[in-house]
Each structure stands twice: as structure tokens, then as C-alpha cells.
Amino acid sequence: MVRVKQTPKQKKFVEEYLLDLNATQAAIRAGYSKKTAKSQGQRLLTNVDIQAQITKLRDKLSAKSQVTRERILEEYRRIAFGDIRQVVTWDANAVTLTPSDDLSPEDAATISDVSQRITEKSNTVAIKQHSKPQALEGIRKMMGYDVPEEHNVNIGKRAEDHTDEELTAIIEGRGGDGAKKETEGAE
């Protein structure tokens, strides 16, 4: 197979694409027309040589930065399942922050911001944790939980030949037997 050498614009597209994974914006930044950037970006992403270059550079960046899927998943896990009681304790009279030196790396990873506001009348400390829903969403996507499960059901006849009740029985897991019993009783 003969490989075609990439043009300077194509090389620039690959570099720009890796910044934000936005093909349209990468095409614009690489010098393609704003008018045709969307189609150019999509076309470039289907180019086998460009795909290979993107993969090569992404792997190189990952190795150099030591950012791996496992590491990302671990950070998401820390945030999603972190317990605020490891960082803050409270009762009816007071709120107490755990000193930062006493936090485990696991617990420290859950914190996104700590601030203090001192006025003549008060001293307010605020602690903010990373978003658990966003972390759970990240885990869900990385683990493929957002891909619908396939359910193969052999119902013996086409769906349109069943009554609504029979289809409901099949969907609810009563399967063909539940549908047959309802059908047999109706005859």
C-alpha cells in the first residue's frame, strides 16, 4: 500500500484536532475555509493516514503525560464515591474541616475549591467538591454503560401479530409463556 505524504495543512489539522477533538474548529485553525470547515473536518477524519497519525500522536501524548484510561477512571471513581465526612465533620454547634495535611490523596481528590472570606464580623470558610453526577457520567461512558443492551427474543411470530398485552408480557420478562397463557385463556 502506497502512503500519500500529508500536506502541511493536514499535519496542522491533526495537531489542532488533538487539542479539543473538534474537527470543524481544527480545520479552521489549520487554515481551511470557515465556510467548508465542517465538511473538510469530517472528510479529514475519514482519511486513513490522518486517523493513523491522530492515533500515533494521541498514544505518544498519553505515554508522555502518563494519562491513561485507568488513571482517568480512578480519578472519576475517587470523585464519584468520595465521602464528604472524610473532609468535613459537623454537628449542631460547629463545622470542622479536616486539615489538608491529614487528608488522604483519595479524599483530597474530591475537593475542587477551598476559600476563606474574612470580614470584621465573620470568618467564612467554604469547601466545594467536584461534581459526583459528572464523575458518574464519565464512568458510565468509559465503561460503556450508555450503550443499550441487546435483547434477542424469539417470540415465534412477528411483533405486529401480537396483541399489546402479549408484547407487554414479553417486555416485562414473562416471555412467550406469559403471552401464550393470556392468548390460550382468551380462546
118 versus 179: which is more confidently predicted?
118
The answer to whether 129 and 82 have CB atoms below 8 angstroms apart is: yes
Average pLDDT of span 137-142: 91
Summarize pLDDT for 33-75 with one digit per residue, the tens: 999 999 999 999 999 999 999 999 988 988 888 888 899 999 9
Name the residue with higher pLDDT: 13 or 6. 13
Where do the domains of the chain lie? 8-65, 73-142, 150-187
Say yes or no: domain 8-65 is CATH 1.10.10.1400. yes
The pLDDT tens digits for 71-106 are 999 999 999 999 999 999 999 999 899 999 999 999
pLDDT of residue 171: 77
Whether 174 shows a pLDDT value over 70: the answer reads no
Please classify residue 26 by burial: count the beta carbons closer than 10 Å to its beta carbon, then call 0-12 exposed, 13-18 middle and 19+ buried. Answer: buried
Residue 22: CB atoms within 10 Å: 13
Question: In 70-144, which ranges are E strands?
Answer: 88-90, 95-97, 111-118, 123-129
Average pLDDT, the chain: 85
Percent of the chain at pLDDT exceeding 90: 58
Q: How far, in Å, CA of 7 to CA of 4, rounded? A: 9
Say which residue, 38 or 183, is predicted with more confidence. Answer: 38
